[in-house]
Amino acid sequence: MDFIIAKYNYWIYIILMMIGFYAMISKSNLIKKIIGMNIFQTAIILFFVSIAYKKGGATLPILTHADAHGEHAIQVAGYLNPLPHVLMLTAIVVSIATLGVALAIAIMMYRKYHTLEEDEILKAIK
Amino acid sequence: MKTLGLIVSIIAGAFLMYGTIDMPDWGDPNSPASIHVSPRYITNAATETATPNIVTAVLADYRGYDTLGETVVIFTAGMACILLLRRRKDVRKARR
């Protein structure tokens, strides 16, 4: 039981990630593939944010006192891990960039072949 | 094709689930991610960068080059979108 409580967050993100992966590899509509890619990236972002969490009264990584001496000395256990938050800020930007380029390519495909279904595009290419 | 994709994703998910056995527990303050680099940022951010928000301090001060690369990524994506979606005048004339 302790094992399930300690690890279930990872399992939720794995299930979400595999939903996105399945959509990416087996849907034939290009927009559905792009949505699957976004679900995949969101699962990774949630995974990293959950790594940052610390049990036992940790607050957000914003310092409350400018004077870091005496009774206001900074306790490392009192603040969440800031690094995964920073990395996921970058990952959100990258996911927006890939989404934009993917949608632009989908628009180009639609202009040229007048469909977004993968099998019809393959037929048109042949 | 659809069943093959389902089988592949279930197998990949099973391998990832097997990998979580070695992951640190959720919310463990002594997990490897929390004891290696981040304590230095938490303890020194106020004195070194004078920024109360540690995320901002790491993003713009300690890892400024990372943020610069991020802006390059945004710029490249924007340029790619413009180049893909631009309607060229000569092409439109040729179509007519």
The single residue listed with the structure tokens 């610390």 is: A54
Summarised one tens digit per residue, pLDDT across range A30-71 is 999 999 999 999 999 999 999 998 888 788 888 877 666 666
**Cβ-based contacts under 8 A for chains A and B:** 139
Distance from CA of A120 to the nearest CA of B (A): 16
Pick from A3, B39, A8, A110: which is nearest to A118 by CA? A110
Tell me whether A59 touches chain B (CB under 8 Å). no
| Interchain proximity B26–A68, CB inside 8 Å | no
Summarised one tens digit per residue, pLDDT across range B74-88 is 999 999 999 998 887
| Interchain proximity B63–A86, CB inside 8 Å | yes
Summarised one tens digit per residue, pLDDT across range A69-124 is 666 677 888 889 999 999 999 999 999 999 999 999 999 999 999 999 988 999 98
Question: Does pTM top 0.90 for this prediction?
Answer: no
CA B81 to chain centre: 20
> B21 to chain A: nearest residue by CA?
A7
Q: Where are the domains of chain B?
A: 53-96
DSSP A77: G
Of A6, A21, A74, the CB nearest to B25: A6
Q: In whole angstroms, give the CA distance from residue A76 to residue B36.
A: 11
The single residue listed with the structure tokens 């087996």 is: A26
ipTM of the complex: 0.82
DSSP B63: T
Domains with residue ranges and CATH for chain A: 2-57+77-125 (1.10.287.3510)
Chain B partners of A122 at a C-beta cutoff of 8 Å? none
pLDDT of residue B96: 52
